[in-house]
A and B are shown apart, each in its own frame.
Chain A
């Protein structure tokens, strides 16, 4: 038996006194505990801080937040995720939620937490045009974005592209089109469709495209546009600004262009990102300051120059980047803001069709 032969049996009392072992263990536990607490515990109760739950990706708004921090000295702690996930978390956390501000990609996301939003001060709300904010003055849009079809310019001529999104259900587009049903912006588009086309037609469209073998292993927009550039996908239903950001990254000969469907339907609808303060916020003033910053000249300039989005403020003299068409050049549909709130209905429809969940 190996055990006895090989081990030196040491039972001298000069070994570690067991009481010390116990003490060491306790001390270790205490040390660990204090590190835990120190590491993150109470910092959000500082007066110069802010907790932001963001449905927009870190890539897009990191620098904006840094600019805000530099300007105001307020430290921002951010939790990133999808708009729906963040909404879900806020609702789950309930009154004890540490978040002060909720920043979503689209109206539906912020609509989901409507009961938890606080009314914003008039001087903030009035800066934003009525059609780009909540009817109850509890959230504002920070930037506007269009739905588009990003397509591969090597494989597709613009003339070939159908007038409306319905065209992509045709045989000739089989297996060439991508979409991302779990994505917040897509769901907002579907919400708008339900308002513009009605429930039945929207459902039929969803089924028609789904039957046409779409490329659907995506949850977000960026990889779709990347894959359009790589030739994996011919046409992707995404938001307009990804193209411009990727062109910056890959260079001007990135073979992708944006198409705004000619029929002016939901394929080219305008969506605002949503920004609101939670009624359970601890840092109310800082929250308002953040919201104000995003709709101030500096914030709006960030959107036009860094993320290629449209500003919501019409009164400021801001240049839309040249690559991006001006708002008045885009034929987008009018969708009443109150219709844009119903994320639940959209998710139910998508879930029933087996497109999500």
Chain B
């Protein structure tokens, strides 16, 4: 008992003051959008609230929830078979399928929207189908196409990392594959399914690019719509944002509940491999299924992009290359990755080395950004920074990115920090080094992979980011993301393709880095948290 107390006190002293200051500073920054929202909402008169609470809002809520529920469900029907096939069967080329089925993460949802819109038009590749892709079908497809990997990755990790002896026991008791699956494997998969599904639900809630192009009006759309109206529209937008925030926070709350149940240790004690299911005749349907998924969500978009580029060039259209936009994308994303990681380190340290109430509060508050759509955060930052020399500089944009994506970096760094054996640090302390020295020379170098992964992740998502960039960017600032969106919404498909190609190519590099990192470290579990 006394020893325990001693250990805890050691931990307390472990975190030096600068870390605390940085951590708290970050948190204060995060409360700005919330304060803004509340102030705005309080300013609102009854007219505003009447507009917020009307039938149309209810219908929009219905539409939004429909998407929020359907996207994870559809993703599950894709991800579950894929996860099983690539980890538990003797499917040929398993490793290749593993990589290919995860790659759609690279594509932003609005890019897939471009692919669908341009293909289903009567003069497009799929025009002969004569199908109206707009509305719910299109929106659902776009979100699912690029988010199902968020379910796939944790499920694969779970399937690989679970304790096989449980399944062996079940089989030795006479249960067949199916029965074992139902009774043993599936329940063990529940945390992965829950966390992945909730993540996809959050993405569906926040998406703007795809739903706007598909004409499917969800909450982010009506908030943006009202934001654009000069007469009291912004207050209505603030009111609607509060509602959206409540929905998102409930989803988040559910997500953290499941997270706490996930196992941290990545692989089982025993080194036994699971029994691979012999597919036999089922090999071909399995192959076809994997092939179909990869074709639909990876190959098809690439083909469509290529088609429009070629079509544009051969029609002799003057196609300017998006060099400026590409540079802006790289610059902004690089800067964002750097700053967000630097801000995330103190937070991650606080929440892993000092697990008190305050640090839990700090971590939870950083998730606010996850819950709010880009337009709300952009709105808040405009108010705060207008009139200062920082207004309309890239600083405000990066700050917006930080609010939106800090949890991603924190999650990734936390994973690495948690994997460090505390004994190592304790030995360092007992040899006389201060807390600061220990962090600098032991902790941080040992967690460098997590830091790198966190930075890469932030780089990836900021490359794709649309709404905050549209609203907060400095004058004359176009990124590849905004270019794709502008050109697609004006139906200039060849130009959209020209802007999309570099985005995909530039995103593939960090994606490869991440995949290698995750594969090497084997810490798939935390992916759902870090994503």
Contacts and interface: CB of A to CB of B under 8 A. Distances in A.
Interface of A: 1-4, 7, 9-11, 13, 15-22, 25, 28-29, 32-33, 35-37, 39-42, 44, 51, 57-59, 77-79, 82, 84-85, 87-89, 91-98, 112-113, 182, 216-220, 222-223, 226-227, 230-232, 249-250, 343-344, 347-348, 351, 354, 356-357
A356 B225 contact: yes
Residue from A25, A37, A113, A217 having most chain B Cβ neighbours under 10 A: A217
A351 B51 contact: yes
B382 A93 contact: yes
B228 A82 contact: yes
Given A22-B18, A230-B122, A231-B122, A39 B393 contact: yes
B229 interface: yes
A98 B392 contact: yes
A42 B389 contact: yes
A9 B421 CA distance: 10
B135 interface: yes
A40 B134 CA distance: 39
Interface in B416-452: 419-421, 423-424, 427-428, 431, 433-434, 436-442, 444-446
Nearest to B124: A230
A351 B228 CA distance: 13
A354 B56 contact: yes
A16 B445 contact: yes
A11 B229 CA distance: 61
Interface stretch (B76-84, B165-173, B334-342, B510-518): B334-342
A256 to B, nearest CB: 13
Contacts of A344: 230-231
Contacts of A57: 490
B141 to A, nearest CB: 15
Given A9-B424, A28-B342, A357-B225, A18 B437 contact: yes
A357 B428 contact: no
> Which of the listed residues B230, B338, B387, B390 has the most CB atoms from chain A within 10 Å of its own CB?
B230
Contacts of A92: 234, 382-383, 386
B352 interface: no
12 contacts: A1-B421, A4-B421, A11-B441, A17-B441, A18-B439, A29-B342, A36-B395, A40-B393, A84-B230, A112-B230, A250-B315, A357-B226
Interface of B: 18, 51, 56, 121-123, 134-135, 212, 214-215, 222, 225-231, 233-234, 236, 265-267, 315, 317, 335, 338-339, 342, 382-383, 386-387, 389-395, 398, 419-421, 423-424, 427-428, 431, 433-434, 436-442, 444-446, 474-476, 486, 489-492
Contacts of B383: 92
Given A3-B420, A92-B234, A217 B122 contact: no
Contacts of B431: 11
A96 B228 contact: no
Given A11-B442, A77-B475, A78-B476, A230 B437 contact: no
- Which 7 pairs between the two chains have the least Cβ-Cβ distance? A217-B215, A18-B440, A96-B387, A15-B441, A21-B440, A223-B491, A226-B491
Interface centre among B215, B335, B490 (most CB of A within 10 A): B490
Contact of A22 (B214, B433, B440): B440
A24 to B, nearest CB: 9
Given A16-B441, A92-B382, A37 B342 contact: no
A25 B436 contact: no
B236 A357 contact: yes
Given A11-B424, A18-B439, A29-B342, A77 B491 contact: no
Given A78-B476, A84-B230, A347-B231, A16 B267 contact: no
B528 to A, nearest CB: 21
A36 B270 CA distance: 52
A32 B442 contact: no
Contacts of A220: 489-490
Contacts of A347: 229, 231, 233
Contacts of A91: 230
Nearest to A82: B228
Given A18-B437, A94-B386, A230-B122, A32 B229 contact: no
A11 to B, nearest CB: 5
B274 to A, nearest CB: 19
A77 B477 CA distance: 10
Contact of B229 (A36, A84, A219, A354): A84
